[in-house]
Chain A
Amino acid sequence: MTLNQQRKLKTLITGLFAWFIALLLFFPIFWMFLTSFKTELQAISVPPSLFFEPTLDNFKVVQERSDYLLHAMNSVVTSFGSTIIALIIAVPAAYSMAFFPSKRTKDILLWMLSTKMLPAVGVLVPIYILFRNNGLLDSRLGLIIIFTLMNLPIIIWMLFSYFKDLPKEILEAARMDGASPWGEVVKVVLPLSVGGIASTALLSIILCWNEAFWSLNLTASNAAPLTAMIASYSSPEGLFWAKLSAASTLACAPIVIFGWFCQKQLVQGLTFGAVK
């Protein structure tokens, strides 16, 4: 085999392997999508049928039983709202830590991340009581607050590593050119890290969109996002696979489409720091 052939074979093998993994990861979504067009009987038939007459009944039932639009709106408002608030807090925080680090900056970063190590269920009761006492239960505002706090450490970390990669001299040049600290951020830091900020925002939106623990525990009907809606199909009347699949398909469709559009940023974001 020539070197060229070897290289081609290598590319082929890695290509096949990558496709295999990708299909494996994609399969549950595909299956869910397929199941949502089946009848309940077809959904649990063994062996599963791949070819069947698709029906839209499940979607009809989902729309009748629960107000899809309300839940979708809740999801949109809470994920976008909390992401915006988190960015407003995180950009200055990451900026100051990246460009004016002190001896304790590393410790602060680690400490912030450590808050994510605590299992959420460990603080469920205190948070629940706090929310109840402040009238935040089953409110969009309450969810926005908890989502913001939940994602803040990750967002700060991601932004921090983007900002850290910006050459310090460029900011110093701006400072010498007469830019105030705010001017530096707006005219130099933000334009140079739009890609990073966009992918951070996207990640935060996705995390909020798919968040279930707090949504289930802190909302009932008014502010329940899509994840809470899905959950309502797994109980109490037993499992209805087809309807559950229809609800899930409806729940994840917007974010999948949104993610598809922002694919480029997302890939860049998930590999942040890795390639320069």
Chain B
Amino acid sequence: MSYLVITELQKHYDSYHALRGINLNITEGEFIVFVGPSGCGKSTLLRTIAGLESSSGGTIELDGKDITEVASSKRDLAMVFQSYALYPHMTVADNLSFALRLAKVPDAEIQEKVRSVSASLQLDPLLDRKPKELSGGQRQRVAIGRAIVRQPKVFLFDEPLSNLDAALRVQMRLELARLHKKLGTTMVYVTHDQIEAMTLADRVVILNAGQIEQVGTPLELYRQPNSRFVAEFIGTPKMNLIPVDTFAVKGDQLTLNLLDSSVLFPANRLSGPLPKAMIMGIRPEHLSLVDDNGDFTGCVELVEHLGSEAYAHIQLTNSQTIILKASARSTLKDGDLVHIKVDSSEVILFNESDRVVSVIAEEASND
């Protein structure tokens, strides 16, 4: 198993500064996922690790050896491309064995390896076909097979599932998770699909404008984001953000005055000094409907029924719309006047420069 150490990695495209000092340790056998908005540099980072893009500064080490200047072909990394990039002129079997043939592996061994990979990915009936005679899902499996067969040090995936339909994507996601469990090889995976990131990753790296915004396990990022960017990026639907008008600390309570009411927050959950201004963040599932004595009132604008749950879009008195997660059997309808209660143990507070100034409640992190 292999590990990667990336230090101060920079990438300039002509005039565009795509990677701005990336520092990252990827440990042995880890499944690490890069997410971030379009154009933030996920593919660039992955391709620089692969050696398909040259770096403009910094180093990449693989198992303690500096590979920054090593050619892609000598790095012993395998990559699965979004477009699959199968060799169109070769059969599936030849696609699978291409790297082994290049490496001059003995024929018998090649056959053995191709057979075992094709069996594990159910490619046996397809071995004699050309890529153009395969469906999207089959091509995807061949592309993955081509990477596995070499037993590389690290797998690199660039949005491998984004060309598949929803059902197939779920199935392949499970297969990838199973594959990682079975092989135990280090995997680096780029996606813009949050569910893929949350379900597959040991750790998620959130990139923003060429920089790492935060690294952590999926739950850490969800529960304890460092910044408003991460808080808004992780979670669907998005976290609700409500500006705090005024606030005051009295004893061990922080009182947040917002809209037409106030929310109490334990002061010991504040980290650092009191900021000048605050924004309150609360996820849709931490808001609930109450008959009275709610923290806010609002008017239902729209209810989205997803089957297993429902999301109510509610307009508050400051005409901001927030989203609340309701039960699937909710009888809410448009135009209803509702009282909303905030679960203050799940509130996250941001300062004026969008950094998080609260820590998660102890009891919440224990359950």
A169 to B99, CA, bound (A): 15
A170 to B51, CA, bound (A): 15
A178-B73, A179-B73, A180-B73 as given contacts; A173 in contact with B87, CB under 8 Å = yes
In the assembled complex, B81 has its CB within 8 A of some CB on chain A: yes
In the assembled complex, B182 has its CB within 8 A of some CB on chain A: no
Q: Given the complex, which residues of B lie within 8 Å of A173, measured CB to CB? A: 79, 81, 85-87, 146
Contacting pair A179 B81 (CB below 8 A): no
A183 to B52, CA, bound (A): 16
Q: Among residues 180 to 210 in chain A, which have CB atoms less than 8 Å away from a CB atom of chain B?
A: 180, 183, 187-188, 191-192
A173 to B14, CA, bound (A): 24
Residue from B71, B83, B98 in contact with A167 in the complex, judged by beta carbons closer than 8 Å = B83
In the assembled complex, B349 has its CB within 8 A of some CB on chain A: no
Contact residues on A (Cβ < 8 Å of other chain), bracket:
10 to 19
Shortest distance from the beta carbon of A270 to any chain B beta carbon, whole Å: 23
In the assembled complex, B78 has its CB within 8 A of some CB on chain A: yes
Interface of B is mostly: loop
Contacting pair A175 B88 (CB below 8 A): no
Contacting pair B102 A176 (CB below 8 A): no
A28 to B23, CA, bound (A): 73
In the assembled complex, A174 has its CB within 8 A of some CB on chain B: yes
A215 to B228, CA, bound (A): 75
Contacting pair A172 B85 (CB below 8 A): yes
Q: Among residues 44 to 97 in chain A, which have CB atoms less than 8 Å away from a CB atom of chain B?
A: none
In the assembled complex, B50 has its CB within 8 A of some CB on chain A: yes
Contacting pair B83 A177 (CB below 8 A): no
Contacting pair A169 B85 (CB below 8 A): yes
A170-B87, A170-B88, A192-B89 as given contacts; A175 in contact with B102, CB under 8 Å = no
In the assembled complex, B77 has its CB within 8 A of some CB on chain A: yes
A170 to B52, CA, bound (A): 12
Residue from B50, B51, B87, B150 in contact with A174 in the complex, judged by beta carbons closer than 8 Å = B87
A70 to B22, CA, bound (A): 69
Contacting pair B98 A176 (CB below 8 A): no
Q: Given the complex, which residues of B lie within 8 Å of A179, measured CB to CB? A: 73, 102
Contacting pair B85 A177 (CB below 8 A): no
For the A-B complex with A167-B83, A178-B99 known, give 17 more contacts whose Cβ atoms are closer than 8 Å: A167-B85, A169-B83, A172-B52, A172-B79, A175-B71, A175-B72, A176-B73, A176-B77, A176-B79, A177-B102, A178-B150, A179-B102, A180-B73, A183-B102, A187-B98, A187-B102, A188-B87
Query: 10 tightest A-B contacts by CB?
Result: A169-B85, A177-B99, A173-B85, A176-B79, A175-B72, A191-B89, A178-B102, A178-B73, A169-B81, A170-B85
Between A and B, 28 residue pairs with Cβ closer than 8 Å are: A103-B14, A167-B83, A169-B81, A169-B83, A170-B86, A170-B88, A172-B50, A172-B52, A172-B85, A173-B79, A173-B86, A173-B146, A174-B87, A175-B71, A176-B50, A176-B52, A176-B72, A176-B73, A176-B78, A177-B73, A177-B150, A178-B74, A178-B99, A178-B102, A178-B103, A179-B73, A187-B102, A192-B88
